Amino acid sequence: MTVPFSFEVYPPRKPELQAALHATIQALAASGPEFITVTYGANGSSRDASLDCVRYIRENTNVEPLAHLTCVGSTRIEITEVVDSFIDAGIRMFLALRGDPPEGTDASSDYLGELSSASELVELIAERGGDRVIVSVAAFPNGHPQSSTPQQDIEVLLAKQQAGAEFAITQLVFDASDYLSFAAAATATGVTIPILPGIMPVTSLARLRRIVEITGERMPTALEEALEAASSPAEARALGVAHAVDLCRTLVAGGAPGLHLYAFNEHETVLDVLAQVNQPA
């Protein structure tokens, strides 16, 4: 089974981690991904580090970098300057995100900045880059925290498509049925852009619980129980990889157009998953 794939990394949190990240990027790039995405801190807090990272990918690999951008809490002028700085650096692929409200701001408050939605950011990036850019967006198979119904998540994705988004990447998926049912419902509603499922191989119980805490995703109890019963870190890693491999195979068999793997800034685990996915079952 050979399927298009991509990876996500994040800017190093300390300067001394940069060399290790560069080595990971080189290893990921050598596997032939469609693109590598680079995250963008809340309210642009990692703007310079993100730009440095996407610039490194562009200048030192044969892989297209995809830059995350957020707009919440910023003025239109501020966001335009950021978009232009990335385009001027040769970046052509973007993930347009509204982002979380600034710290100390009530999420239900009217203050979200001059661009209050990812759809508006899609339009701005397209306006600044024209046909030179490709804009992607996020999708939420298990619901955005501020959505009132599953259908609202699909309607929002449809609005992003109408604004010019060319594909979507989902938040973490632990259960294939969550993605497959969402994709089917989105298609029925008129969404035609590809929707890539986001997969994060989780190889320790502590990391799984931390991820669920941060993202608010539903706990995959079978994986939690398996990791809790593991007798060693090596066994936990093998269980996490096996879960991700099974998940990827089920997603692709169900029609997923590709796989987007969250690498956690290390390459061994995601490359192990891909190698096993591409082996005969």
- Name the DSSP letter for residue 131: G
CA 152 to chain centre: 20
Distance of alpha carbon 198 from alpha carbon 196, whole angstroms: 6
Q: Which residue has the tokens 């096993």?
A: 276
- The continuous run of DSSP H or E covering 165 comes out as none
Question: How many CB atoms are located within 10 Å of the residue 37 CB?
Answer: 27
Please report the beta strands in 53-102, taking only residues with DSSP state E, as ranges in sequence order: 64-70, 93-97
Distance of alpha carbon 107 from alpha carbon 100, whole angstroms: 8
Q: At what angle do helices 268-277 and 18-30 cross, to 10 degrees?
A: 10
Q: Is residue 8 annotated as a catalytic residue, yes or no?
A: yes
Backbone angles phi, psi at 134, to 5 degrees: -120, 125
> Which one of the listed residues 8, 64, 120, 217 is annotated catalytic?
8
Residue from 140, 138, 136, 242 nearest 181 by CA: 140
Question: How many CB atoms are located within 10 Å of the residue 51 CB?
Answer: 20
As a dihedral over the C-alpha atoms of residue 277, residue 5, residue 55, residue 28, rounded to 10 degrees, the angle is 10
Distance of alpha carbon 189 from alpha carbon 207, whole angstroms: 35
Instruction: Give the residue numbers annotated as catalytic, written as ranges.
Output: 8
